[in-house]
Each structure stands twice: as structure tokens, then as C-alpha cells.
Amino acid sequence: MDLPRSFTIRESSHRIHNPFTGEKLATLGRALGPAPGARVLDLASGSGEMLCTWARDHRITGTGVDISTVFTARARDRARELGVADRITFVHGDASDHVAEAPVDIAACIGATWIGGGVPGTVRLLESSLRPGGTILIGEPFWRREPPDQEAVEACHAEKREDFASLAGLIEQFGALGYHVVEMVLADQDSWDRYRAAQWLNIRRWLDGNPDDELAPTLREELDTDPVRYARYEREYLGWGVFALMRR
């Protein structure tokens, strides 16, 4: 049980595996203001940057669950680096059926709602770990601009236009699930650039060191084509944000 090797190559330098900068992650933490000792569950926690920095800055406690052995190991290293390993635990496992042993104050899935088969299923999964009155955090794409055609839709990693909502439509979806949106921090084009362009440099450096690897032809083709596709479509049409939800 692990992520494909191509993914860990592509994001080998990333501490945050979505179009969020460290500054935006800190903004979200300050906006929510979790109390010292607040319990946080982060499903699909990646390299653990949210839990580790919030443990340092807000003294939360928490658990992260992720399917990647590479990112889980990196998250544990980060916790030790920041001196918070006594408050944060990282588990290698399938987040799609993980329920906390005791109710948590914040239940999060930042950019991986596929673990619940989409937004509704992920919200229900997070609910199963949340204390009454707690907060859910969901990171999710939305259409920043209406895509003009099917080519643009597919270039933004969707099969059909309806796979993503507009920003207003996504907030309406949260409402239909029974939640108020009480905070949100959105990616901008610069944070998208920092996320996606860093992937290209990671791929190029890996290719330079591994020209004969079996993955090299696929990743070389990606590096040949992805920057133009990103600039033409994804950067223009796809938004992304983290939304804080509380039960109505």
C-alpha cells in the first residue's frame, strides 16, 4: 500500500502537496486559532506540514494518516525537526476508512477528497471522528473560471465539467450537506506556480540523475508538455482552497 513512485519523484521537494504555500497554511491556522491541546486528525496528511507547524505555533496535538511510506517518514522527520514529535503521531495507512479512537476538535482532509469518493463522502468520513461543535477542514478544487471546452476540462484533471463546482457552487454544496462555511483560505496563481513549477524542477533533477530508469520516458514526456498545458489551462481556470465547516 503506497503511492506510485512517480508521485513521490514529482513532489520530492514539497512540504505541502497542494497549491498552498507555508504562508497560507499559517494564515489558516491563525484564522482558526485552535486552542492549545486541541486534537486534530489529518487524513491524507502527506509530509505532515499542517500538523507539525500548528503543533509548533498553536500547541495542538494530533494524528496524521497517509498511504505514502515516503511522505509518512518525511512527516515524522519534520515533527522531530520542529520539536513536536511528543504531540504529533503519523500513521502509514489507508485514510479512507480511518476513524479516530476518540473524538477530535478538528478533522481535516486537505486536497484528497478521493478518499471518500468525493466531497460528500469525505465530509461523512470526517464526521465520524469529530466531536460535537468541532470543525471540518476540506481542501478542494473549484472552477476559477468557466472552462470553455472539453479540452480545457481534461487539462484541469477532470473528466467532465461537473466534476468541479464554481466557488459559489462548492459553498452551496457544503450548505446542502448541513454545514456553514466559517472560514476559507484560497490558493492564488502564485501559490499554484510554487506548487506546480517545483514539480518540473524535481522531475528534471531526477531525470538528470536517472536517465535510464523505467519511469524516465514517461516523466520526460510530462516535462516536455506539462508547463504549457498548465499555463494555458490549469493556471487560468482551476481554483483551490481550504474551507472550514461547522454543523448548522
Q: What is the CATH number of domain 5-247?
A: 3.40.50.150
- What is the Cα Rg of the chain in Å? 18
Q: What is the pTM of this model?
A: 0.96
For the chain, report the end-to-end CA distance as a whole number of angstroms: 37
Percentage of the chain exceeding pLDDT 90: 99
pLDDT band at 101 (very low <50, low <70, confident <90, very high): very high
Q: What's the pLDDT at 1? A: 75
| Residue 113 clears pLDDT 80, i.e. is over it | yes
How far is 12 from 95, CA to CA, in rounded Å?
21
Q: Which three cell numbers stand for residue 179?
A: 454545514
pLDDT band at 69 (very low <50, low <70, confident <90, very high): very high
What DSSP string runs through 118-176? Answer: SHHHHHHHHHTTEEEEEEEEEEEEEESS---SHHHHHHTT-SSGGGS-BHHHHHHHHHH
Of 105, 110, 157, 153, which Cα lies nearest the Cα of 16?
A: 110
Average pLDDT score, the chain: 97
| Residue 2 clears pLDDT 90, i.e. is over it | no
61-88 mean pLDDT:
98
Residue 23, class by beta-carbon neighbours within 10 Å (0-12 exposed, 13-18 middle, 19+ buried)? Answer: exposed
Residue where the block lists cell 497554511 = 25
| Residue 216 clears pLDDT 90, i.e. is over it | yes
| Residue-range domain boundaries for the chain | 5-247
Q: What's the pLDDT at 212? A: 97
* Distance, C-alpha 156 to centroid of its chain: 16
42-58 mean pLDDT:
98
Of 223, 217, 231, 230, which Cα lies nearest the Cα of 203?
A: 223
Residue 116 DSSP code: G
How far is 77 from 81, CA to CA, in rounded Å?
6
Q: Which three cell numbers stand for residue 205?
A: 533533477
pLDDT band at 80 (very low <50, low <70, confident <90, very high): very high
63-70 mean pLDDT:
97
